[in-house]
Amino acid sequence: MVIENNQLLGHTLGTCTIQSLLGRGGMGAVFLAQQSRPRRTVAVKVLLPGLILEKRVRAEFLARFRREADAIAALDHINIMPIYEYGEEDELAYLVMPNVTGGTLREAMEKRGRFPLSETVPIIEQAAAALDYAHAQGIIHRDLKPGNILFHADGRLVLADFGLAKILNETSEADHEITSGFTSAGAIIGTPEYFSPEQSTGNPVDKRTDVYSLGIVLYQMLGGRVPFTGPTAVSIAVKHSIEEPAPLSELNADISHSIEAVVMKALAKKPSQRYNSAGELARALRAATPPNVFSSQTPQIAHEVRPEPTTPMVLASNDTILEVPAISSHEAPTMSMRTVAPRTPPLWEKSFSPAPAHVSPQDAKRGGCQPLWMMLLGGTLALLLIIGGAATYLHFLSGNSAVQTSTLSGTITPTSQAGQQLPTALLPVGELLYGVHLPACDAQQTLWSKSTNAMVSCGTSATELFNTSSSYLAGTFLDKFPNGYGIPDDYVLEVQVSEGSNSQGGFGVFFRNQPGLIHQGTFSFLVFPRGRWETSVYNDHTGKRTLLFGDQVTTPLDGLITIDIVVHGSRFTFYLNGHKQGEASSSFYPSGTIGLAADTGADVFFRNLAIYALPK
């Protein structure tokens, strides 16, 4: 075969010149290649059936490939492998993708065996976010397994090979002769260890097939092995249909019954008895995981993405955190408090470290010292850069007419997320101080922190905030502006929010939130499904909630809702969809940060957050 003999090396497919073989699988082979337009290193997946099928069936396969590749390439999610290019050449079907260098989950599990919950949960959450997005686009993966779960160098997880199993299976159904062709070539459509029972029996599949396969991955990560093995693909498929997996707690004594129950529900034989979505599985896993699982102390190593603060406010260095109790209409509950150590860095933070700088033997003998003339030249260049930067800064100050708002730590200049146009503000406002299309996501993610019970998922059009707790408010918090300065004291805050189909809790914003050693103080504005809004303040010393004001909303809340809060001194004015709802006054906190809030049972989507200066 061409792939076996590496005869593609040096050949060109589309804009890519094949350089070396990276690996082979049941559905094709992956090559390292150099793309000419734009010039970059990529991975090219050549689909195996394009090389081995007889001519008539190969034409059927290529027709299906063209149709399905359009849908696969349209997937746009941070946790899904993007498709740069696809095509056919010399009767080969190929896909061009980024060259992801972090390895696969399969490789990691082969080296490490079982995974701790602290690393397993975020991996499952990211995979679930990718699956939910693809399912919303009508695409089922059908071959989810650790080999298709890759780690990007920037720390995130990406899923690959969406929909490829469907192309092969549909072609197989069109002509039964293909089955023997695949078998003789040593290829299998799908991976039997991760098959769902309905795949094994040939019954129709839906998104719950991927939920089952994700459950198998979860079982393997926690238990160290897959639940079913056998000498042939058929024997393994039969076990998926009729046998029950060994209890996970027998493979890992550290697994609680609540975690085991989550995994076993994902592995139910009947799709109707599983979780309805991958995201539902991930949320159940997070809720069943004890909070202290994420608090084991492990040294931080190179290539750290960002420690996620586990507090609804800014987590201090002493690692004491508070969780804000969910609002009750009848009482002012107190805060709960617990102490945690720094989190265990997840797998991708451990797997990537920058290569050491190269030092020549001559420099090593000299102790790495540079010649004197190079030091003088470097000093001169640094001085010129400082002088030039100062001149540019002074020129900017003299020529810039944009409004700048004074804060305790400096001035704030307008910023917004690149490539996104924020909607026109519904209220009279001053200068834009900060704007972001997807709060807590993308390039500005490092500016935000979140509470332990907040599950934040980044989509293409909104940021999902889901509350995994049954007792506490969840939140994600803007700690500072990109220039490092704090949130101003007075401003107009505007954000759009919509409720998920299963959301049953209140949602809204925190403002003048109190970061620091003890995080009990904040103002909140929440809107509840029953059509009531409330604003409250939490005492920074006692943690008790005081209801400042509440009333029924005066505008319909169906679909996308725009929340506006005008914060001016000790007076706060609240708007929904541009309609004033009421006011409240409190001088309890003169300053603080802002955040997005989700009450218990809430699953909401935020977008287009903007902070403006007050109008003149």
CATH value at residue 258 = 1.10.510.10
φ/ψ region of 139 (left if φ > 0, alpha if ψ in -120 to 50, else beta) reads beta
Q: Check residue 27 and give its pLDDT.
A: 64
d(CA 591, CA 514): 8
The token pair that represents 459 in the structure block: 């989509």
| Structural domain count, the chain | 2
Contact of 151 with 157, CB cutoff 8 Å: yes
* In a shared domain, residues 281 and 430: no
Q: Check residue 189 and give its pLDDT.
A: 55
Q: Check residue 159 and give its pLDDT.
A: 92
Q: For residue 583, how many other CB atoms are within 10 A of its CB?
A: 13
Last residue of a domain, one of 267, 289, 311: 289
* In a shared domain, residues 23 and 163: yes
Asked, for residue 300, whether it belongs to a domain, the answer is no
d(CA 230, CA 237): 9
Average pLDDT for 339-345: 35
d(CA 326, CA 472): 4
Asked, for residue 379, whether it belongs to a domain, the answer is no
φ/ψ region of 546 (left if φ > 0, alpha if ψ in -120 to 50, else beta) reads beta
Q: Check residue 181 and give its pLDDT.
A: 31
d(CA 170, CA 20): 31
With 0-12 / 13-18 / 19 or more C-beta atoms within 10 angstroms meaning exposed / middle / buried, residue 601 is middle
What residues contact residue 353 under an 8 Å CB cut-off, 6+ apart?
301, 302, 303
* In a shared domain, residues 284 and 425: no
The angle that helices 55-73 and 164-174 make with each other, rounded to 10 degrees, is 150
Bigger pLDDT: 556 or 425? Answer: 425
Contact of 463 with 440, CB cutoff 8 Å: yes
Asked, for residue 58, whether it belongs to a domain, the answer is yes
Asked, for residue 265, whether it belongs to a domain, the answer is yes
Q: For residue 442, how many other CB atoms are within 10 A of its CB?
A: 16
Asked, for residue 489, whether it belongs to a domain, the answer is yes
Contact of 434 with 608, CB cutoff 8 Å: no
Q: Is 269 helix (H, G, I), strand (E, B) or coil?
A: coil
Asked, for residue 29, whether it belongs to a domain, the answer is yes
Q: Is 176 helix (H, G, I), strand (E, B) or coil?
A: coil
Q: For residue 404, how many other CB atoms are within 10 A of its CB?
A: 15
* In a shared domain, residues 421 and 279: no
Residue 65 predicted with pLDDT over 80: no
Residues with a known catalytic role? 143
Contact of 433 with 412, CB cutoff 8 Å: yes
Asked, for residue 103, whether it belongs to a domain, the answer is yes
Q: Check residue 565 and give its pLDDT.
A: 98
The token pair that represents 145 in the structure block: 């397994």
Asked, for residue 171, whether it belongs to a domain, the answer is yes
Last residue of a domain, one of 248, 274, 289: 289
d(CA 207, CA 76): 18
CATH number assigned to the domain comprising residue 468: 2.60.120.560
Domain span including residue 234: 12-289
Largest Cα–Cα distance of the chain, in whole Å? 79
Cis ω before 38 (30° cut-off from 0):
yes
What residues contact residue 348 under an 8 Å CB cut-off, 6+ apart?
102, 151, 152, 155, 156, 157, 305
The token pair that represents 212 in the structure block: 């089952």
144-186 pLDDT, tens digit per residue, is 999 989 998 777 899 988 766 555 555 444 444 333 333 333 3
Q: In which band, very low, low, confident or very high, does the pLDDT at 614 lie, cut at 50, 70 and 90?
A: very high
* In a shared domain, residues 283 and 420: no
pTM of the model: 0.49
Last residue of a domain, one of 289, 309, 328: 289
d(CA 516, CA 175): 66
422-461 pLDDT, tens digit per residue, is 999 999 999 999 999 999 997 778 899 888 788 999 988 8
Contact of 403 with 385, CB cutoff 8 Å: no
Angle at 201 between CA 196 and CA 205, to 5 degrees: 55
DSSP class of residue 327 equals P
562-611 pLDDT, tens digit per residue, is 999 999 999 999 999 999 999 998 888 888 999 999 998 899 999 999 99
